[in-house]
Amino acid sequence: MAFEITKKDKSSRARAGILHTAHGDVMTPVFLPVGTKGTVKSARNDELKNWGVQMVLANTYHLWLQPGDELIKKAGGLHRFMSWDGPIFTDSGGFQIFSLSKKAQKRADSDERNSFNVKVKESGVSFQSGSSGEKKELTPELSVQIQSNLGSDVVLVLDEFPGYPFEYEKTKKAVERTTRWAKRVKEEFSRLKKRKQINPGQMLFGIIQGASFPDLRKKSAEEISALGFDGYAIGGVAVGESAEEMYKAVDTCVPFLEENKFRHLLGVGTPENIVQAVARGCDSFDCVIPTREARHGKVYISEKNGYKTMDIAKSKFKEDLRPLYKNCDCFACQNHSRAYIHHLFKSGEILAIRLLTEHNLRFYLKLMAKIREAIIEQKFSAMKKNFKNLGI
């Protein structure tokens, strides 16, 4: 079994488990830092390991365009190319292209040139690549071929993300196309496997769509699970809808997915989102929040009655000689003052971002460790109720 459930919470759908991959076991629930282009921004891989990162997420679309999946394959796969010996999860590239489409529409609305020219067809998604204007098409088959070349441990199918605000008919068509594309990906994955072009242990995950419409979420979950994937990703969330709508979408999907299969929630999220999604049966998460917030000077700080984000750029920290957080054992908190980090950030020094990235990622990693421990010790319900007092 690729996924082994080791403990279930008695009062919710939360579970602790182990995802067995070709590059090591991953203890769940788990947070995956986003390494879009084969690197988690401003962090070295040895640092990630030391901080407790188990698995990273890389972006199929960006690595396909630069430096190219063929070069990465020639280098021995993404693990060797980026010198990361742990598990790697790759998305399909679909969300990025649909995001480009949204940006392109904004440009069109403001009378600027639509340089991406994104078009969704049954064959796949066609677009113009960045400033070069080169025409490209990403098909379901090509997406899985690229991920095969990357050699990631978890491969995602190409799906259609209908965008926000949600529209029923548009979402229904996207759900139906996502199912058709998923069938094509499964067939291509099997073909590559027979030709021994799939790395041993490489897993294929289906994606559930359906926006905030319960009947479409149910339809997507039933159709995708019927195809028999190694695991599932719930997509189309955290894109502008309320947290309650997100939770409702997860609640609708999970009962129609096999209990013994791994579940990833794409693009989520805040600490609150993660705790709530774990309670609803999700096993892993990826999000740019901790690293992106670090680049904007935002720091996650635990407090007795909850946690907050602190803006280190504010002038009130100019002469504050206290550490970011006295109980944190990260390098920044153990060695530097708020005043010094404020000085670095205001001076545009790269070290500020590196220090804050470590601090924020470790906050998230400690959160996941607390969640796992609470599930194992049957204390998750109390943790969920008293979430504002994490003591991280």
pLDDT in tens, 50-61: 999 999 999 999
Provide, for the chain, the percentages of residues in helix, strand and coil under a 3-state DSSP scheme, each rounded to the nearest 5.
45, 20, 35
Residue at token pair 């995708």: 224
> Could you tell me what percent of the chain has a pLDDT over 70?
93
Over residues 160-179, mean pLDDT = 94
pLDDT in tens, 267-318: 999 999 999 999 999 999 999 999 999 999 999 998 776 689 999 999 999 9
Over residues 353-371, mean pLDDT = 97
List the structure tokens of 288. Answer: 């740019």
Please give the span between the terminal C-alpha atoms of the chain, in angstroms, as a whole number: 33
User: Which residues form the catalytic set?
Assistant: 91, 286
Q: Which helix (H) or strand (E) holds 352?
A: helix 350-376
Residues 6+ apart with CB under 8 A from 83: 45
CA distance 267 to 289: 9
DSSP state of 34: B
Q: Which residues pair with 16 in a beta bridge?
A: 7
List the structure tokens of 59. Answer: 């972006």
Of the candidates 305, 304, 272, the residue with the CA atom closest to the CA atom of residue 289:
272
Residue at token pair 């980090």: 341
pLDDT on residue 113: 44
List the structure tokens of 338. Answer: 């708020």
pLDDT in tens, 110-121: 444 445 788 899
Structural domains for the chain: 29-287 (3.20.20.105), 295-377 (no CATH)
Pick the residue with more confidence: 257 or 392?
257
Identify whether 323 is preceded by a cis peptide bond (ω within 30 of 0). no
